[in-house]
Amino acid sequence: MKSLRITVMMLLVAAIPLHLAVAQQGTPQAGSAAPSKEEIVAKLEKIAATLQLTPKQEMQMLPILKEEALQLKALKENASLGPLEKLMQLKQISSASDAKIMPLLDPVQQQKWQAIRQEERQQMLQKLASKPN
């Protein structure tokens, strides 16, 4: 059963974006309505530095990151969904964000973005695989 769970998660983890880990690190305290502006700006600054975004790209990405942070927060707080359902919704959220972000990046930035995401997927997979049943 555990190997099946890991296999399913491996397939779904392929869609987990960098944003999830950054958003979880900066998740607001319980009871707050939404991620704070400071958390979203900090996330954007980290991405901007890594990808060497232009100011225009930063301004274009800010609403995308804000929307994604709100969706991730709602997903994390949704107790009615099981882990597999959450992973599937996470895939949808990340795919929608990617569809908006990738056209904003030049080819070099896209490669960096994909490399960062791949590393993050591997970290998430290790974290999920190490969780006890």
Query: What's the pTM value of the predicted model, to 2 decimals?
Result: 0.68
pLDDT at residue number 107? 96
59 or 1, higher pLDDT: 59
Place of tokens 């296999």: 7
Are 66 and 101 contacting, i.e. CB atoms less than 8 angstroms apart? no
Q: pLDDT per residue over 44-64, tens digit each? A: 898 899 999 999 999 999 999
Alpha carbon distance 53, 88 (integer Å): 30
Q: Is residue 129 within 8 Å of residue 12, measured between CB atoms?
A: no
Give the number of domains in the chain: 1
In tens, the pLDDT along 78-99 reads 999 888 888 888 888 888 988 9
The domain in which residue 74 lies consists of 2-130
Lowest mean pLDDT, pick from 5-9, 76-80, 111-115, 119-123 = 5-9
Contact 47, 110 (CB under 8 A): no
Among the residue ranges 6-15, 32-41, 104-113, the one predicted with the least confidence is: 6-15
Contacts of 78 (CB under 8 A, 6+ apart): 86
**Lookup: tokens for 26:** 């900066």
pLDDT tens, residue by residue, 65-80: 899 889 988 988 999 9
Residues 95-121, mean pLDDT to the nearest whole number: 88
Whether the per-residue pLDDT at 39 is higher than 80: the answer is yes
- For position 116, what pLDDT does the model report? 78
Rounded to an integer, what distance in angstroms lies between the CA atom of residue 118 and that of residue 38? 26
